[in-house]
Each structure stands twice: as structure tokens, then as C-alpha cells.
């Protein structure tokens, strides 16, 4: 890490410290925003669970708290002051930034064993990628509002950083932790396996079959250990239904930026089970396709999946988009090939402004209704989907140009 | 599946650019024109009662006869209390309410804004509904002094008389709260804040409460006999009460009582195009400023529908007609089965019985915002937003598109990839973001300084904000290399307009009029560009920008009301601290920064023409 990286991290940490201390009411205000806090990540609900937990009641009684038990033990050993909590969240963001710097320094985004991008020299320096994460308004707002998605994001980034350095153990222990905390990172197992395999030491590389089997066993056993630990902590298996059950079955229909809540409010109960399965399967079907098509660039397959999860998961928030955007920044060499950058940036800004305005009209002013906010979450999701699609186009184009350099600069027409 | 366009648009970019320019100007023109069409019969609609439960004017109103003597007696009482301090007044009024067997509460408050202190004591009484369960309430309010600081003799007397009169009826299904607020601006705000437990330590809590407030009628009746009723309906931040409430009041007073109703101080409304337009524009100005136009304004942010009935002129109507009107409106409110929701919350009234709804008028504000956004897109697409590469001429000349290289293939692939002119985003983004952060400075300064120094500070601030962009543009021009200079200003304008367009379209959904008026004033920003080759044009642009600056707007507003600018600034500061009025935030943190960026671009042409930079 060079001096510029340290400077960027320092400024990023300072900015968060200033926001926490200069505006003491800001965390509470932001924590109430449905765009930032969801039922499965909200800090307010975490406090409720923590209160019950420290008073010897099962934290899942009352049906408010839906987060993993290990988070409770983390917060219960923490001194009960706002400052230490804030510092923990800042530390998490700092660690994310460090992981991003490691990912960027490894240059896996542009150079993999089976693909070398012709644009490999146009990559931004690592400090710029850290800055893109640390000064992204979405990640700042997420850090200040203190939802637990911050920890999931940090751990996912840490796991990717370990993977690009070929350190299988830390990578999959972390991924197991991320999956344990918020379920959906489990979908990243396959691309992460590919990244790790690509980046592991060429001399002592086992065959892909043994590698996958060993990794799967490692991942599963670590995950089981986490679950058993949680069982010991809370004294029952109740937490499984209250955490993963909630993510899978969507009993809480609080509005968020995703596509599920409105759909399931409107739905007749007889169709609910069918569409729940459909929506969950829909997320899953992207994994094989993405990993197959992008097998030469597994890190990008992983990024794309993070983007898809951030759109289609059951309780998404802007924190998920922040993770995707910061991973996308690692692939900045393909930005010149993206076709709609300005349009997409403008549209995402529009949605960011209109979302709170329409929520205000619906909930506070009473002059709008739920359709207003839902319309804007649709726009938000479409824009995010377009970003994923446009980045995918750019990467495929980049790959295509490596294979057929004579076609550089020619128009591509789909027939 | 892409369509094959006969002309390759990438190579004929100027076609696209002209199309965009035409589109953006077209959008603005259509937006403005469509606003002027609204008063026509074809675009506006007659008002109608949407909520059937209201049944306005369907009951006989009995207030009158001997009740009028009671009003006159109370009027004498109010007159005698005339200039007493607010706690003496509150004590006496509380006594009167108590003698009518009502539960009474008083509330002290004190606000500080712009170096002034606003204190007083509200007094109110709750009539528990004989047929209700105290979950809903309606409010009859009379300020002790009305918005023009005149003693509201008739209004207070009428409220006191009505409190005794209403007590006798057994048909109320909602509690009725009678509020005598100490003044018309801070008092109602303190009361409604405390009613919802959202008050600060400077405001006393309420000792007696009732249910959720469904509607509020304020009586402003300082004089004796009057000619017409002036209905005021603008809320804080341009929110409006449900149209049904206004329709009810209009229908009852006109059709049942034979009382003329006026809107927006249009005393002589002939229902012609001109009068309709004028009423609409006055309504828009009030909405855009977002200030309180009467005690009712403070209720509206709590999603409580409220209006003020103010008497106007000299005529033959007396307290009896006003009392019967209020009685009939209350009978209608009493009929409500659920909160006002049927009719419109977004509308522009152009005559007491004519309006346009949001679907008809929103496009005009949106089109202005779209015009700004389209200009931003055009600026982005324009090849002038890219800086020329410094290296050598080997690099292609026809490269308007990234990643394109000369057909000759002389150049090695590796160096040509994605080369060619690039957009340098850092400096323009810093200019735009920096300008928006600077907006906090005037906002904070004008909200914290004293009323006495306001005028001086304002003139100093004008001088600073005229000189500061010029200096900044000079600095940028002198320190930036020649080939990056024009693209920097180009992109700064692009981002600034994009942000402004985005903000205005968001604002249009919340406060249409403010969005439209700021959009109107910001139109010159679409054309404010650096013109290093023509100093007169730059001069013209600069003057145009000065004439449409936030300061000019402030002077216009001050002139419109015949006040000094310091009074407007004082009002803005009072609005921010007492009412939670957002207009100053929007002016200083959205509009002013956009204007500053426009000025930076225009003023750069002077520096460039002196230093002969950027002329190529």
C-alpha cells in the first residue's frame, strides 16, 4: 500500500468520524430510511434483539429481530456506547477499503490465466478504487445508518481479497461467514471457487475436481460450525427460521428498494408459495450461466452475480448496490466500452432523489400512495439491471477483441 | 436486431446535437406555453364535491337571533382586553370557556429567530362529542391577532359564542377543539406541534388533548359588517389542504349563505382568462415561497386539512352569516366518515369554482426540468466535452468515438485502444460539488444573524457572490492547460444542469410552483457558456445571469409585497426556525450553486479573451 492509498483511507475514515460526531442525530434518521435499513439488517432491530438477549430472553421472541446470533455475541462483548459501535462500523468500512486495494493490486480483473485484456494498462490505480468505495454516497450512508449489511459486505470483500491472493482457507471461511450472516452470498461460492483456483499457486495446483471437493467440504464444515456455535449461544435452533426463514419466506413486507414487497402485498395467498419458490430459483439460475460464459474472467462473473443479487434478493438495500458498484470499479478498464454510462449515472441519481421524495409523499404527506414509491423502486432496479447488462456487454466485447483483434472499433450487431 | 440507420449518427454528431438543442428549447417553450393554456375552459375543470359524506349545505344552520347578542357581548369583552398581555388574555378566555363547561388548557411558547423573540400563550378548550369516542376531532381556531397584527375581535368573539352554541347540540360525533392562539404565525405552530408531541423545550406541552384532527377552520374577522369571505389555503412548504374542504366552504358560503368568496386577494374576480391566470399565478407565488399565509398553514404539514375564512370589505353581512357558515362547515366536517382523501391534494385554483389538477399542470414544470436535463445530455454528447490528447497528430482526427482508430492501421493496437480525446471529469465535478457545498454558507449565515445586520450582510453577500465566481473562473483559466480549459467549463455546466434538472423534477412532485419558478429563472443557465471569441456576447450573458440570479428574485419578491429585502430574509429565517420552511435551503443549496457555476462559465470568457487562451 502506497502513500496515496493511506491518504484516501485516512480521509475516508475521517469523513465518517466527522459525520458521526458532528451530526449525532444523523445515524438515527438514516437508520429509519427504508432504502438503507431492511428488516434483516436494521440497526434498530439489532438493538431490540440485543436487549432481549442480554436479559436472558430468546432474541427471536416477538418476531422483530431477524439477524444472525453471532452478531449478538459480537455486540454484547462490545462496550455499550455509541462511540464503540460507530468505530466498529468505521473499522468495517476501512477493512473493505483495504480488501478492495488488495483486489485491485492483484490485477486479476484485467489479467487472468486465460484472458489478458488489451486494456490492461488503462486500469485505475488501487487508491482510486478505494476512493470510489469510501466516497460513494451509498456506502457512506450505509455506514452511518449502521445496518449489519456493512459486515456482510466487508466479509465478502475480504473473502474476494483472499481469493485473488490464492489463499483458499481464509477465502472460504469468510464466504461461509458472509453466507451465515445474510444467506445470499452462498450463491457466490462457485465463482469464488473459480477465482481461487485461477489465482492459486501454479506449481502446487491440484486438479480442479479435488480442489472443488476439498473446498466444498471446507466451506460446508465451517458453515456448520457457525450454525452449531449459534445453537450453543441461543440454546435452540429457533434462529434458523427467524433469520434464513425470513429471507426465504418474506413474512415482513416492509417497503424497500427491491422488487418483492409490493409483489407479495398484492398477491393472493394461494399463489404465494409458488411465487416464493420462483423468485428464489430465479436468483439461483443466474449462477451456472454467468460462471460458464465468464469462465475466463471469474472475478467478473462474481461481480455480476453480486450485482444480480443486489437487485433480486428478498430484502435489498442501497448497501448491496454499494458493494456491486465498488466491485465494478475494480473492472474500470472496461468502462470505455460501456455504452450508457452517462445515461445510467443520471438515471441512478434521478432514482436516488425521487425515491425519498415519493416515499415522503406516500407516508408523510399522505398525498401519494404506495404505487409512487414502488414505481421508483422499479426504476432503481431497472437502472441497476442495465448497469449489470452494460458492464457484461463491455466485458464480452473486451474478450471478443482479444480473440479477434482485427474487429476492434467495428460496430457489433446482434442478429 | 439493431436498426440500421441510413446516416451513421456517430459520424454526423452535429445532427444529434442540433436535435437535442431543438428538443430542449422546445420542451421549455411547450412547458411555458402549456402553463398559459391552463386557465382556458378546455384545460381547467369546474370543482365538485368528491366526498359524498360531506353533504355541504344540506342542513339548516340555526346560528343567529339571540346568539348574535352573545357575539356582540363577547366582542365588547375582547375589545376591553385589547392590549393586555397574553397571559391576562389567556386567563380571561379560559374563564369564559370554563363557564361554558368545557375542558380548558393553556400553553406558553417562545421562539427565537433572526435576533427576535416571539412569545405568547395559547388557550384552548375541548368539547367532548356526545356521540363520539374522542378518537377524532375538528378544530375551530381564531388567532388573537391576525396575520396583519390586527386584533381579531369578531373572530375571537364568534369562536367563544360558537363554543357555547355548539355545546348545546347533541349531534356531534367528533370532538370540537376551540383554539385561541396568541398570534397568527407562531402560536398555531406551537399548538399543533405540542398536540402531536413534536415540540421543543421552548414550547409547553398540552394538558388536555383529544383525537386525531380531521379538519381545521380558522376565523379571521377583525371588523364589523363585511362584504365577502376570503378563503386562504396555502400551507407551509406549498402543501395544500384537500380540495374537498375548500369546495365545501365555497359551496356553503356562496350557495347556502349568499356570501361571495374570494381567493388569493382577487377581490373583483370576473372569471375571465386574465383574472383566472392572475389568481393562479398568485397562488403559485404563495406556494413557491412556502410561507404561512394564516394560522391554517401550520396544520397542513401534519396532514390536517385546514383553511382560513377571512372577512373582507364593507358590506351587509354580519357575524350571523359568518357564524352560520362556520356552523354549516362544521356540520359537514362532522359527517366525515374517514380522513379527507377523495379529492385532490395537488391542484391550482383559478377561481372559487375552477381548478386544474396535477395531471394537467405537472407536465409544464416537468418539461422545464426536462429541458435542463436534455441540455445536460447534449453537453455530454458534444465532442467539445473531451480534451484533446496532447501527444501528436498520429492519433486519429475523426475520432469522435472512443476506441476508434484510423483505418490505415499504422498504429500499434496496444497504444491506440481507447485512446483519443477523453473527458476529464475531476475538475468539473469538483467545481460543481464545491459550489453546492458552498451553498451551506449563505444558508447558515442568513439563518443565524440578527435582523438589524441582515440588510448589510445581504449587500456584502451580493458583492461576494458577484466577485467570487469571476475570481474562481480566472483562477481556473490561468492554471488549467489550454486544451483542457473549454472542456472543463463545458462539463461543469453539464453536471450542474443535470443536477438542477434532476432536483427540479423531484421538487415538482412536492412543490410544483417552486420548481417551476426556479426553472423559469434558471433558463439563462442553458445558454450560459464561455465565449472567448466574443466579449459582447459574454457581457450579455453575464447581465442576463445577474438579472435572473437568486438576489434579483429576492428583490422581485420584496417589491411584490412592498417590503425591504431584510424583511424577506427575516421571514425566511423565521420560517426556517418556527415553521420548518424549506425554501431557503432550496434557494441557497440548489439554485444559487447552479447559478454560480453558470457565472463561472460565462466569466471565464473575459479572462480567456484577455489571456488569449482557449480561442482555438
Distance of CA A258 to the CA centre of its chain: 14
Interval B358-368 mean pLDDT: 87
Q: Which residues in chain B are contacts of A343 at CB distance < 8 A?
A: 377
DSSP secondary structure letter of residue B9? T
Q: How many CB atoms within 10 Å of residue B203?
A: 20
Provide φ and ψ at B351, rounded to 5°: -160, 160
Interval A138-167 mean pLDDT: 95
Determine whether the interchain pair A357/B509 forms a contact, defined as Cβ–Cβ distance below 8 Å.
Answer: yes
Judged by average pLDDT, the poorest of A215-224, B410-419, B483-492, B603-612 is B410-419
* CB nearest to B403's CB, from A121, A336, A353: A336
Asked if residue A411 is part of any domain, the answer here is no
Note whether B220 and B322 are within 8 A (CB).
no
With 90 as the cut, is the pLDDT of residue B383 above it? no
pLDDT of the residue at B397? 41
Determine whether the interchain pair B373/A119 forms a contact, defined as Cβ–Cβ distance below 8 Å.
Answer: no
Choose among A360, A379, A382, A377: nearest CA to A369. A360
Distance CA B556, CA A271 (A): 60
User: pTM for the complete prediction?
Assistant: 0.87
pLDDT of the residue at A99? 95
pLDDT of the residue at B115? 80
pLDDT of the residue at B410? 40
Percent of chain B, pLDDT > 90?
45
With 70 as the cut, is the pLDDT of residue B389 above it? no
pLDDT of the residue at B406? 42
With 70 as the cut, is the pLDDT of residue B584 above it? yes
Choose among B570, B587, B584: nearest CA to B455. B570
Q: How far is B73 from chain A (nearest CA, A)?
A: 41
* Whole-number average pLDDT of chain A: 91
With 90 as the cut, is the pLDDT of residue A30 above it? yes
Q: Which residues contact B218 (CB under 8 A, 6 or more apart)?
A: B141, B142, B143, B188, B294, B295, B296, B306, B307, B308, B309
Provide φ and ψ at B612, rounded to 5°: 60, 35
Q: State the count of interchain CB pairs (< 8 A) between A and B.
A: 67
Note whether B381 and B423 are within 8 A (CB).
no
With 50 as the cut, is the pLDDT of residue A137 above it? yes
Give chain A's domain count: 1
Confidence of residue B613 (pLDDT cuts 50, 70, 90): low
Determine whether the interchain pair A409/B404 forms a contact, defined as Cβ–Cβ distance below 8 Å.
Answer: yes
Confidence of residue B412 (pLDDT cuts 50, 70, 90): very low
> Which residues in A have their CB inside 8 Å of a CB on B?
118-119, 121-122, 336-337, 342-343, 346, 349-350, 353-354, 357-358, 360-361, 364-367, 405, 408-409, 413-415
Q: What is the pLDDT of residues B12-38, one digit of tens each?
A: 778 888 888 899 999 999 999 999 999
Mutation target to probe the A interface, by most A beta carbons within 10 A, among B377, B382, B417, B433 is B417
Q: What pairing do the DSSP bridges indicate for beta strands B226-232 and B347-351?
A: unpaired
Three-class secondary structure assignment of A264-300: HHHCCHHHHHHHHHHHHHHHHHHHHHHHHHCCCCHHH
Choose among B105, B111, B153: nearest CA to B125. B105
Determine whether the interchain pair B403/A349 forms a contact, defined as Cβ–Cβ distance below 8 Å.
Answer: no
- Residues forming a β-bridge with B137: B175, B213
pLDDT of the residue at B392? 41
Confidence of residue A91 (pLDDT cuts 50, 70, 90): very high
Asked if residue A412 is part of any domain, the answer here is no
With 60 as the cut, is the pLDDT of residue B7 above it? no
What H or E segment, with its residue span, contains residue B125? strand B116-127
pLDDT of the residue at B480? 81
Choose among B522, B509, B492: nearest CA to B592. B522
Q: Which residues in chain B are contacts of A336 at CB distance < 8 A?
A: 402-403, 418
Q: How far is B294 from chain A (nearest CA, A)?
A: 20
3-state secondary structure of B305: strand
**Which residue range(s) make up the domain with A299?**
3-406
* Whole-number average pLDDT of chain B: 86
Asked if residue A207 is part of any domain, the answer here is yes
* CB nearest to A358's CB, from B345, B373, B509: B509
Distance CA B468, CA B434 (A): 13
Distance CA B245, CA B48 (A): 11
Q: Which residue has the cell 366552504?
A: B249
Q: How far is A369 from chain B (nearest CA, A)?
A: 11
pLDDT of the residue at A415? 60
**Could you give the ipTM of this predicted complex?**
0.84
Q: Which residues contact A193 (CB under 8 A, 6 or more apart)?
A: A211, A212, A215
Asked if residue A414 is part of any domain, the answer here is no
pLDDT of the residue at B482? 77
Q: What is the pLDDT of residues A321-356, one digit of tens each?
A: 999 999 999 999 999 889 888 899 999 999 999 999
Q: Domain limits of chain B?
A: 52-267+275-337+350-355, 421-611
Confidence of residue B416 (pLDDT cuts 50, 70, 90): low
pLDDT of the residue at A35? 92
Q: What is the pLDDT of residues A32-55, one digit of tens each?
A: 999 999 999 999 999 999 999 999
Confidence of residue B466 (pLDDT cuts 50, 70, 90): confident
Q: Which residue has the cell 478498464?
A: A333
pLDDT of the residue at A413? 66
With 60 as the cut, is the pLDDT of residue B435 above it? yes
Note whether B583 and B514 are within 8 A (CB).
yes
Q: Long-range CB contacts (< 8 A, 24+ apart) of A214-218?
A: A215/A168, A215/A172, A218/A168, A218/A169, A218/A172, A218/A173
Determine whether the interchain pair A353/B345 forms a contact, defined as Cβ–Cβ distance below 8 Å.
Answer: no
Asked if residue A216 is part of any domain, the answer here is yes
Mutation target to probe the A interface, by most A beta carbons within 10 A, among B412, B416, B418 is B418
Distance CA B467, CA B445 (A): 18
Judged by average pLDDT, the poorest of B359-363, B382-386, B539-543, B592-596 is B382-386
Confidence of residue B106 (pLDDT cuts 50, 70, 90): very high
Determine whether the interchain pair B509/A349 forms a contact, defined as Cβ–Cβ distance below 8 Å.
Answer: no
B52-267+275-337+350-355 CATH:
3.40.630.10
Distance CA B267, CA B288 (A): 22
Note whether A311 and A258 are within 8 A (CB).
yes
Burial class (CB in 10 A: 0-12, 13-18, 19+), B487: buried
Q: What is the pLDDT of residues B53-86, one digit of tens each?
A: 888 888 888 888 888 999 999 999 999 988 888 8
Determine whether the interchain pair A121/B414 forms a contact, defined as Cβ–Cβ distance below 8 Å.
Answer: yes
With 50 as the cut, is the pLDDT of residue B393 above it? no
Asked if residue A107 is part of any domain, the answer here is yes
Q: Which residue has the cell 497504444?
A: B415
Sign for the pseudo-dihedral over CA of B393, B394, B399, B401: negative
Q: Which residues contact B395 (CB under 8 A, 6 or more apart)?
A: B389, B411, B416, B419, B420
pLDDT of the residue at B3? 46
**HSE-up of B218 (CA within 13 Å, CB side)?**
35
Confidence of residue B470 (pLDDT cuts 50, 70, 90): confident
Amino acid at each position: 500500500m502506497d502513500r496515496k492509498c493511506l491518504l484516501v483511507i485516512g480521509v475516508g475514515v475521517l469523513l465518517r468520524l466527522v459525520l458521526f460526531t458532528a451530526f449525532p442525530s444523523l445515524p438515527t434518521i438514516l437508520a429509519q430510511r427504508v432504502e438503507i435499513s431492511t428488516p434483516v439488517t436494521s440497526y434498530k432491530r439489532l438493538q431490540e434483539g440485543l436487549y432481549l438477549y442480554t436479559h436472558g430472553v430468546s432474541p427471536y421472541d416477538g418476531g422483530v429481530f431477524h439477524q444472525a446470533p453471532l452478531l449478538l455475541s459480537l455486540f454484547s462483548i462490545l462496550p455499550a456506547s455509541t462511540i464503540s459501535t460507530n468505530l466498529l462500523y468505521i473499522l468495517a468500512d476501512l477493512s473493505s477499503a483495504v480488501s478492495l486495494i488488495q483486489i485491485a493490486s492483484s490485477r486479476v480483473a484485467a489479467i487472468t490465466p486465460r484472458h489478458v485484456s488489451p486494456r490492461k494498462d488503462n486500469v485505475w490505480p488501487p487508491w482510486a478504487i478505494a476512493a470510489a468505495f469510501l466516497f460513494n454516497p451509498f456506502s457512506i450512508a450505509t455506514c452511518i445508518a449502521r445496518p449489519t449489511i456493512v459486515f456482510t459486505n466487508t466479509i465478502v470483500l475480504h473473502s474476494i481479497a483472499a481469493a485473488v491472493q490464492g489463499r483458499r482457507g481464509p477465502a472460504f471461511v469468510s464466504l461461509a461467514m458472509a453466507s451465515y450472516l445474510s444467506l445470499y452470498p452462498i450463491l457466490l461460492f462457485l465463482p469464488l471457487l473459480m477465482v481461487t483456483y485461477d489465482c492459486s499457486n501454479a506449481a502446487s495446483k491440484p486438479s480442479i475436481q479435488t480442489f472443488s471437493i476439498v473446498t466444498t467440504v471446507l466451506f460446508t464444515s465451517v458453515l456448520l460450525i457457525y450454525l452449531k456455535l449459534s445453537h450453543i449461544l441461543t440454546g435452540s435452533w429457533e434462529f434458523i427460521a427467524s433469520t434464513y426463514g425470513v429471507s426465504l419466506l418474506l413474512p415482513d413486507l416492509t417497503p424497500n428498494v427491491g422488487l418483492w414487497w409490493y409483489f407479495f402485498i398484492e398477491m393472493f395467498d394461494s399463489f404465494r408459495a409458488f411465487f416464493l419458490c420462483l423468485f428464489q430459483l430465479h436468483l439461483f439460475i443466474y449462477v451456472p450461466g454467468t460462471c460458464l460464459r465468464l469462465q475466463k474472467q471469474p472475478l467478473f462473473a462474481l461481480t455480476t452475480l453480486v450485482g444480480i443479487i443486489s437487485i433480486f434478493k428478498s430484502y435489498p438495500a442501497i448497501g448491496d448496490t454499494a458493494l456491486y458498484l465498488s466491485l465494478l470499479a475494480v473492472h474500470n478498464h472496461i468502462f470505455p466500452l460501456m455504452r450508457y454510462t452517462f445515461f445510467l449515472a443520471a438515471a441512478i441519481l434521478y432514482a436516488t432523489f425521487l425515491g425519498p421524495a415519493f416515499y415522503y409523499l406516500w407516508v408523510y404527506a399522505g398525498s401519494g400512495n404506495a404505487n409512487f414509491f414502488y414505481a421508483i423502486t422499479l426504476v432503481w432496479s431497472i437502472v441497476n439491471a442495465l448497469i449489470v447488462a452494460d458492464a457484461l456487454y463491455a466485458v464480452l466485447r473486451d474478450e471478443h477483441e482479444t480473440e479477434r483483434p482485427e474487429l476492434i472499433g467495428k460496430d457489433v450487431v446482434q442478429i | 436486431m439493431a436498426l440500421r440507420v441510413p446516416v451513421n449518427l456517430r459520424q454526423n454528431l452535429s445532427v444529434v446535437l442540433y436535435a437535442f438543442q431543438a428538443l430542449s428549447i422546445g420542451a421549455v417553450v411547450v412547458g411555458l406555453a402549456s402553463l398559459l393554456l391552463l386557465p382556458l375552459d378546455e384545460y381547467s375543470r369546474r370543482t365538485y364535491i368528491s366526498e359524498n359524506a360531506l353533504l355541504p349545505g344540506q342542513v339548516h344552520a340555526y346560528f343567529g337571533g339571540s346568539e348574535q347578542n352573545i357575539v356582540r357581548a363577547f366582542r365588547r369583552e375582547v375589545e376591553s382586553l385589547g392590549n393586555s398581555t397574553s397571559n391576562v388574555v389567556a386567563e380571561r378566555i379560559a374563564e369564559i370557556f370554563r363557564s361554558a363547561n368545557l375542558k380548558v388548557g393553556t400553553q406558553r411558547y417562545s421562539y427565537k429567530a433572526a435576533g427576535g423573540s416571539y412569545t405568547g400563550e395559547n388557550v384552548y378548550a375541548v368539547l367532548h362529542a356526545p356521540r363520539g369516542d374522542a378518537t377524532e376531532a375538528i378544530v375551530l381556531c381564531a388567532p388573537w391577532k391576525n396575520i396583519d397584527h390586527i386584533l381579531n375581535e369578531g373572530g375571537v368573539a364568534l369562536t367563544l359564542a360558537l363554543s357555547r352554541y355548539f355545546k348545546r347540540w347533541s349531534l356531534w360525533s367528533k370532538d370540537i377543539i376551540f383554539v385561541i392562539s396568541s398570534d397568527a404565525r407562531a402560536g398555531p405552530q406551537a399548538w399543533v406541534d405540542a398536540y402531536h408531541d413534536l415540540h421543543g423545550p421552548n414550547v409547553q406541552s398540552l394538558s388536555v388533548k383529544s383525537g386525531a384532527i380531521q379538519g381545521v377552520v380558522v376565523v379571521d374577522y377583525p371588523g364589523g359588517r363585511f362584504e365577502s369571505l376570503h378563503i386562504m389555503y396555502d400551507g407551509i412548504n406549498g402543501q395544500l389542504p384537500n380540495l374537498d374542504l375548500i369546495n365545501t366552504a365555497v359551496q356553503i358560503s356562496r350557495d347556502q349563505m349568499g356570501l361571495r368568496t374570494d381567493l388569493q386577494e382577487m377581490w373583483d374576480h370576473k372569471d375571465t382568462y386574465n383574472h383566472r391566470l392572475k389568481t393562479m399565478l398568485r397562488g403559485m407565488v404563495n406556494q413557491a415561497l412556502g410561507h404561512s399565509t394564516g394560522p391554517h398553514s401550520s396544520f397542513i404539514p401534519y396532514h390536517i386539512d385546514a383553511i382560513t375564512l377571512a372577512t373582507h370589505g364593507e358590506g351587509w353581512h354580519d357575524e350571523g352569516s359568518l357564524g352560520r357558515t362556520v356552523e354549516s362547515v362544521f356540520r359537514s366536517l362532522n359527517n366525515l366518515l374517514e380522513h379527507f382523501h377523495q379529492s385532490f391534494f395537488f391542484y391550482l385554483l383559478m377561481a372559487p369554482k375552477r381548478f386544474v389538477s396535477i395531471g394537467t399542470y405537472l407536465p409544464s414544470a416537468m418539461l422545464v426540468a426536462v429541458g435542463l436535463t436534455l441540455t445536460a445530455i447534449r453537453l455530454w454528447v458534444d465532442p467539445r466535452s473531451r480534451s484533446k490528447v496532447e501527444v501528436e497528430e498520429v492519433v486519429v482526427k475523426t475520432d469522435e468515438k472512443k476506441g476508434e482508430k484510423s483505418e490505415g492501421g499504422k498504429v500499434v493496437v496496444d497504444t491506440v485502444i481507447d485512446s483519443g480525446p477523453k473527458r476529464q471529469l475531476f475538475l468539473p465535478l469538483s467545481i460543481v460539488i464545491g459550489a453546492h457545498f458552498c451553498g451551506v454558507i449563505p444558508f447558515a449565515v442568513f439563518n443565524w444573524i440578527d435582523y438589524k445586520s441582515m440588510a448589510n450582510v445581504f449587500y456584502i453577500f451580493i458583492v461576494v457572490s458577484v466577485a467570487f465566481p469571476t475570481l474562481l473562473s480566472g483562477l481556473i483559466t490561468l492554471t488549467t492547460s489550454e486544451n483542457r480549459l473549454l472542456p472543463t467549463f463545458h462539463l461543469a455546466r453539464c453536471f450542474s444542469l443535470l443536477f438542477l434538472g434532476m432536483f427540479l423534477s423531484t421538487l415538482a412532485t412536492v412543490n410544483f410552483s417552486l420548481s417551476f419558478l426556479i426553472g423559469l429563472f434558471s433558463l439563462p443557465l442553458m445558454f450560459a457558456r464561455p465565449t472567448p471569441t466574443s466579449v459582447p456576447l459574454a457581457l450579455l450573458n453575464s447581465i442576463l445571469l445577474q438579472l435572473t440570479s437568486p438576489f434579483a428574485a429576492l428583490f422581485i419578491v420584496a417589491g411584490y409585497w412592498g417590503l425591504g429585502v431584510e424583511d424577506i430574509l427575516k421571514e425566511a429565517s423565521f420560517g426556517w426556525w418556527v415553521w420548518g420552511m424549506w425554501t431557503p435551503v432550496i434557494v441557497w443549496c440548489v439554485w444559487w450553486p447552479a447559478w454560480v457555476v453558470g457565472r463561472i462559465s460565462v466569466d471565464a470568457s473575459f479572462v480567456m479573451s484577455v489571456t488569449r487562451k482557449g480561442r482555438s
